[in-house]
Amino acid sequence: MPRKPAKRPRKIWTLQPPLHSPLPVPATIKEVVDIGAACLVESFLKPAYVKNPPPDWDFNYIVDIYARWTRNYFYFGARYCSPGPNALAPFFDSNFARMEYVGDNLFTIACLRRNNRWDPVGGAMPLDECLEAVKTYPAFQL
């Protein structure tokens, strides 16, 4: 005699709370991060990565590097020019590093993976170590 298939439990929609609520970033820490990041961008990142393209260049190239706060995250990003004939837009932006304030003057830093997920690099670090990681860590090379 054939067996009846076992009944599966009913699927129920449930609310999934966020994994953690981000800490509010004090204004003094935001100022210190802005100053440190501006120094890094102007003294190292722009001279190293913003170059004039060769004539008749049809591929994307970096025209600007910036750093900015978005909610409780601090992003380093690059603005690219798309000069090719099939470009969807003349410019686009792409973030390449993200710092998150975790309290006690410590940050976690993450790099953007190919699947658009942020991959943490190390644990909680002070600001100086995070900025040095952006400068030297291979995942942040543009």
Whether residue 5 is predicted with pLDDT greater than 80 in this model: the reply is no
Residues 96-125: pLDDT tens digits?
Answer: 999 999 988 899 999 988 888 999 988 899
Please tell me which residue, 5 or 26, carries the higher pLDDT value.
Answer: 26
The answer to whether residue 95 is domain-embedded is yes
The answer to whether residue 70 is domain-embedded is yes
The dihedral built from the CA positions of residue 62, 35, 141 and 102, taken in this order, carries a sign that is negative
The answer to whether residue 119 is domain-embedded is yes
CB neighbourhood size of 108 (10 A): 17
Q: DSSP letter string over 75-127?
A: EEEEEEE--STT-SSSEEEEEEEEEEEEETTEEEEEEE-TTS-EEEEEEEE-H
Alpha-carbon distance of 133 to 112, in angstroms, equals: 14
* Global pTM value: 0.80
The answer to whether residue 132 is domain-embedded is yes
Tell me the residue range of the domain where 121 lies.
44-140
> Can you give the pLDDT at residue 1?
63
Alpha-carbon distance of 120 to 92, in angstroms, equals: 24
The answer to whether residue 116 is domain-embedded is yes
The answer to whether residue 76 is domain-embedded is yes
The answer to whether residue 36 is domain-embedded is no
CB neighbourhood size of 131 (10 A): 24
The answer to whether residue 27 is domain-embedded is no
Alpha-carbon distance of 136 to 45, in angstroms, equals: 11
Whether residue 133 is predicted with pLDDT greater than 80 in this model: the reply is yes
Number of domains in the chain: 1
Alpha-carbon distance of 125 to 108, in angstroms, equals: 6
111 CB contacts (<8 Å, ≥6 apart)? 96, 97, 98, 118, 119, 121, 137, 139, 140
Report the chain's mean pLDDT, rounded to a whole number.
Answer: 88
Cα 83 versus chain centre, distance: 24
